[in-house]
Amino acid sequence: MAIFVDENTRVLVQGITGRDGLFHAGKMREYGTQVAGGVTPGKGSQTVEGFEVFDSMHEAVQRTGANTSVIFVPQRFAADAIIEAADAGIKLVVCISEGIPVIDMLRVVSYLAKKGTRLIGPNCPGVISPGKSKVGILPGQIFAPGKIGVVSRSGTLTYEIVSHITKSGLGQSTCVGVGGDPVTGSNFLDVLELFRDDAETEAVALVGEIGGSDEEEAARFIKQELGKPAVAFIAGRTAPKGKRMGHAGAIISGSSGTAEEKVETLNAAGVPVAEEPAQIATLLKERLHEA
């Protein structure tokens, strides 16, 4: 089985008539994902490159039976787009949009908890179960079906690490980019719990970065509950304190959130941490052999 997405995933693209939305809708369809159509208010009853466009999520869900949404709308509309998807009955929302204000995301996360809707992102590359379905902007050609679960706060760094895993012959069960904003929907713990219960996932690669405490919390979960081999990589080891590096959540405050602190906590939990991305595949093979 896969987590989040599989052959039965039916996707609506919010913002499908925009440049990015239409481009990635095509890429998802090429990969084999069931893209049921898209939503752009005021542009319903159109067809763009073979995709039917609807005015609202309620109409789109009723007409297509979609269960998943991916969001490519501008930041000022993104929070409302997530809420609209949840109101329409969508159970998984993947938000690619970046720059959404923290105060808006606090409102969104609270609302989704009441609706029972899962959110991945915002400011994330999405999710893919290789050979089954991809939702987002992940480059499908670098992934291969396999037994490694990947969860990451980074986008492009994930692609490099996944490429090494694929070339090593291990492949991936599911890869999830949770996003690097201060407030996101699903976090490391949410994904690790699903990997723990997934029979196809035999080991986990965690890609973290400076800032926050998600990696430290993940280390405790891995040690106490995961029950599967895990390895990690932490980006931002040379970042100066108090300066944001790339993601809005990647900022060191005082002595908290440093790369050294995260590496030490992960090592103490029995999780080897690669010094460079290329080492991830080697560490995974070693841990699987030990298991």
| Catalytic residue set | 247
Q: Where are the beta strands (DSSP E) in the chain?
A: 10-14, 34-39, 47-48, 51-54, 68-71, 92-95, 118-120, 126-129, 133-136, 145-152, 172-177, 203-209, 230-235, 273-274
Identify any residues that bridge with 256 across adjacent strands, giving them in sequence order.
253
User: Which tokens sit at 109?
Assistant: 């996360």
Under 8 Å between Cβ of 256 and 215:
no
Query: How many Cα atoms sit within 13 Å of 287 on the Cβ side?
Result: 24
Angle between helices 259-268 and 214-221 (to 10 degrees): 0
Around 144, how many Cα atoms within 13 Å sit in the side-chain half-sphere? 13
Contact 24, 123 (CB under 8 A): no
* CA-based radius of gyration for the chain: 19
